[in-house]
């Protein structure tokens, strides 16, 4: 399944729960989705609190999926082609050298 198909499945889920209805308390606005994305990302981070290893892989996978779904939905409602955005970012970063890497090279 590709990113566009995943987005369609996610849109079906949101529609199924009525979250596109203007009166829903879970309005699918960019602001609300960005907040939810950050909150879910923090839940991913919780799996590493006090440990370098994930103890509950199934729960960890669920949190990663939540992050991905919110990211897909945020891109969708913001009219961003996430696949193109990702490919463009990879291209921009391909030959990029980060400042930390430059500093390490200078020290050598």
**pTM for this one?**
0.87
Longest CA–CA span in the chain (Å) reads 60
pLDDT at 108 over 70: no
Distance CA(46)–CA(42), nearest Å, equals 6
Q: In this structure, which topology does domain 3-80 adopt according to CATH? A: Helix Hairpins (1.10.287)
Helices (H), 1-108: 3-16, 30-46, 57-77, 82-93, 99-107
Distance CA(21)–CA(61), nearest Å, equals 29
Distance CA(27)–CA(34), nearest Å, equals 12
pLDDT tens column, 52-69: 999 999 999 999 999 999
Query: What rounded mean pLDDT belongs to the chain?
Result: 94
pLDDT tens column, 76-90: 999 999 999 999 999
pLDDT at 104 over 70: no
């Amino acid at each position: 399944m590709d990113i566009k198909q995943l987005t369609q499945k996610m849109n079906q889920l949101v529609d199924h729960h009525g979250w596109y209805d203007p009166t829903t308390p879970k309005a699918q606005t960019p602001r609300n989705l960005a907040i939810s994305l950050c909150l879910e990302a923090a839940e991913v981070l919780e799996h590493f609190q006090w440990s370098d290893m994930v103890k509950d892989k199934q729960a960890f996978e669920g949190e990663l999926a939540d992050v991905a779904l919110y990211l897909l939905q945020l891109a969708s409602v913001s009219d961003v082609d996430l696949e193109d955005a990702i490919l463009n970012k990879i291209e921009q970063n391909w030959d990029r050298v980060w400042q930390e890497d430059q500093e390490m090279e200078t020290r050598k």
